[in-house]
Structure formats: structure tokens, C-alpha cells
């Protein structure tokens, strides 16, 4: 199921928004909503005092606290923007302190493991809307946040059978106000589509750089001879190792399925190279080129 929510946006107002993890993702959402004038107060919650002070001095948040429980207590919307493996424990601490009628949402790149961990913890009167804004840069921290990060980018929401329509509508309008195209998916579909289009390519890029290094003999630095194409191709292997370790583990079921499809595809190519199957090779490359050109 994929639905694009492109209906006209009703007026949005959030009295108090708590951002847990005031980095690029959390801070940029705060800035976008403040700029749109749809939020009364933004409370920043985090562990690093220096980053929180930076966030306040830059106007990313109006006030901040290092106390998660106190910070979320009076918030109408709580956005969790911490690393994906930490989301269950952060939610477990925050949820008992959230007020009735409040909405919890998150920005995790993986959804099934997050939903499975958080939904059983939901108190009566608190709603959870799982989300994934598909955006980011190679920067991090509150100082990297900017209000247009989400403009023209997709934000995928993955409501479950327990998600109330009103809460989903509120979070969808929040992301639309930030400039995103909101797309609804099943949790399982989200993890499979992201495994294919994002997680698998990152795994392949990381593996390629390590494999090419291993092709050198007797201390030979073959990477010295890499040209522009290789550099573009492997830029994503410069991404944060901690984040990708967490994503690989959190989404391992869907990721392992895509890795198997990739291995089978590569094995087909290898067999055709070994057998000098010129027609099959041309067809393989041509098919790939056509698909790639279609998404330019």
C-alpha cells in the first residue's frame, strides 16, 4: 500500500513540541515548523549540554533540558530523533511521563523493530505515529540544522492497526508543513523498500571499497589508481559507521533478503562473463542502463 497524502493542508497548530535529540534531523524539523509559525514552544532534550546551548543560541529550540522525563511531560508532540537502536529505550523512558492526548513520533530509518518495541509500551491516551523523513546530509549536530532540509523530500509514515486517524493526520500535516511529500506505507513494505533502495546500496559501497583495497598485492595501493567514477560511486561509504551498524542490525531481516537478491544477480553476471556470453552481457548492462536512466 502506498498513498500519497496530497490533500489540502488544514491549519496546523502545536502548542508545545519536544525534540529528543537536537541534531540535523530534529533541529531542522524544529526550524521548519517555527518558520511556518505553527508551533508555540520548542523544547530541546538531549545529553550534550554544549549542543543544547548551541541549539538555543541559534534559535533551533526555545528552551532545553537534559531531563527526558521532565522535558516530554507537557509536550503535545514528542519527536524522537536519536539513533535508531536507541529509540526503544528512549521511548520506554519517555512514554510513562507523556500527557494524555499527546502524540509520539520518530524519525528512525527502520520501522518494524521500532514499532515492535514501542507499541506494547504505549499508555492509554498516548498515540504513536512511526515515521521516517528520507532526508539528511553528511553533517550532524544542532549547528547543521536548517529549515529547508525537508522541502521536496519524502517523509514516509507507517501507521499500524493501533494508530488513530487523528494522530496520523496531525503528524502528516506537520511534515507537509515542513515541506515534505508524505507517503504512507505498511511497516513491512517500508523496511523492504528502504533495504533495497538505501540500505543495500550502502552495504555494497562499503564492501566495494574494502574489496578493492584487498585486490592490491604486496602492499600495493590500488585505490591510488581510482578515477572519478569510483569516487562518485563510493561516496556513500564515507557515511557514519555507527549509524549504518545500527541500521544493518535493526533491519537485518529485510536487508538479508535484498543481499541475497543482489548476490544472485551478481552470480548471474559473473557466470555470463566467465562464459563470454556476449548477448546476455549486453542485455544485462542495457537493462540496467535503461532502469538507471529512467530515474535521472
Binding to a copy of itself (CB under 8 A) within 251-270 occurs at 252, 255-259, 261-266, 269-270
Of 124 and 221, nearer to a copy of itself (C-beta) is 221
Query: Which range binds a copy of itself by CB under 8 A, 16-24, 108-116, 158-166, 280-288?
Result: 280-288
Residues 227-256 that bind a copy of itself (CB under 8 A): 227, 229-239, 241-242, 244-245, 248-249, 252, 255-256
Please state the three-class secondary structure of 134-156 as a single string.
CCCCCCCCHHHCCCCCCCCCEEE
Q: Are 236 and 201 in contact (CB under 8 A)?
A: yes
Query: Which range binds a copy of itself by CB under 8 A, 14-22, 106-114, 123-131, 196-204?
Result: 196-204
β-strand pairing of 154-157 with 131-133: antiparallel
- Does 215 interact with a copy of itself (rule: CB under 8 A)? yes
Q: Are 118 and 128 in contact (CB under 8 A)?
A: yes
Residues 120-139 that bind a copy of itself (CB under 8 A): 134
- Does 276 interact with a copy of itself (rule: CB under 8 A)? yes
- Does 116 interact with a copy of itself (rule: CB under 8 A)? no
Q: Are 133 and 198 in contact (CB under 8 A)?
A: no
CB of 174 to a copy of itself, least distance (A): 21
Of 59 and 275, nearer to a copy of itself (C-beta) is 275
Helices (H), 100-177: 112-118, 165-177
β-strand pairing of 2-4 with 181-185: antiparallel
Among 154, 167, 169, 191, binds a copy of itself (CB under 8 A): 154
* Dihedral sign of CA atoms 84, 82, 137, 231 in order: negative
Exposed, middle or buried by CB within 10 Å (0-12, 13-18, 19+), for 52? buried
Query: Which range binds a copy of itself by CB under 8 A, 7-15, 47-55, 166-174, 281-289?
Result: 281-289
CB of 207 to a copy of itself, least distance (A): 5
Of 5 and 223, nearer to a copy of itself (C-beta) is 223
Residues 14-53 that bind a copy of itself (CB under 8 A): none
> Of 104, 108, 107, 109, whose CA–CA distance to 93 is shortest?
104
Among 5, 117, 184, 223, binds a copy of itself (CB under 8 A): 223
d(CA 1, CA 279): 37
Amino acid at each position: 500500500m502506498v498513498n500519497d497524502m496530497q490533500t489540502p493542508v488544514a491549519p496546523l497548530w502545536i502548542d508545545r513540541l519536544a525534540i529528543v535529540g537536537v541534531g540535523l534531523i530534529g533541529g531542522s524539523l524544529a526550524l521548519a515548523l517555527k518558520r511556518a509559525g505553527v508551533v508555540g514552544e520548542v523544547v530541546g532534550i538531549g545529553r550534550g549540554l554544549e549542543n543544547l546551548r548551541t541549539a538555543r543560541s541559534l534559535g533551533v529550540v526555545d528552551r532545553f533540558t537534559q531531563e527526558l522525563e521532565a522535558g516530554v511531560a507537557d509536550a503535545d508532540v514528542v519527536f524522537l530523533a536519536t539513533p535508531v537502536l536507541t529509540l526503544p529505550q528512549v521511548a520506554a523512558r519517555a512514554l510513562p511521563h507523556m500527557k494524555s492526548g499527546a502524540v509520539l513520533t520518530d524519525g528512525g530509518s527502520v520501522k518494524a523493530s521500532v514499532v515492535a518495541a514501542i507499541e506494547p509500551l504505549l499508555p492509554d491516551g498516548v498515540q504513536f505515529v512511526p515515521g521516517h523523513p528520507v532526508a539528511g546530509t553528511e553533517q550532524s549536530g544542532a549547528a547543521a540544522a536548517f529549515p529547508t532540509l525537508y522541502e521536496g523530500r519524502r517523509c514516509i509514515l507507517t501507521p499500524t492497526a493501533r494508530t488513530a486517524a487523528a494522530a496520523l493526520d496531525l503528524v502528516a500535516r506537520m511534515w507537509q508543513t515542513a515541506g515534505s511529500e508524505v507517503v504512507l506505507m505498511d511497516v513491512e513494505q517500508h523496511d523492504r523498500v528502504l533495504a533495497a533502495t538505501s540500505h543495500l546500496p550502502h552495504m555494497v559501497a562499503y564492501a566495494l571499497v574494502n574489496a578493492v583495497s584487498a585486490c592490491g598485492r604486496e602492499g600495493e595501493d590500488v585505490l591510488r589508481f581510482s578515477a572519478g567514477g569510483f569516487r562518485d560511486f563510493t561516496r556513500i561509504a564515507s557515511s557514519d559507521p555507527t549509524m549504518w551498524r545500527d541500521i544493518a542490525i535493526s533491519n537485518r531481516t529485510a536487508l538479508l533478503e535484498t543481499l541475497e537478491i543482489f548476490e544472485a544477480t551478481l552470480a548471474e553476471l559473473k557466470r555470463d562473463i566467465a562464459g563470454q556470453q556476449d548477448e546476455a552481457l549486453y542485455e544485462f548492462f542495457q537493462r540496467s542502463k535503461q532502469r538507471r536512466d529512467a530515474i535521472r
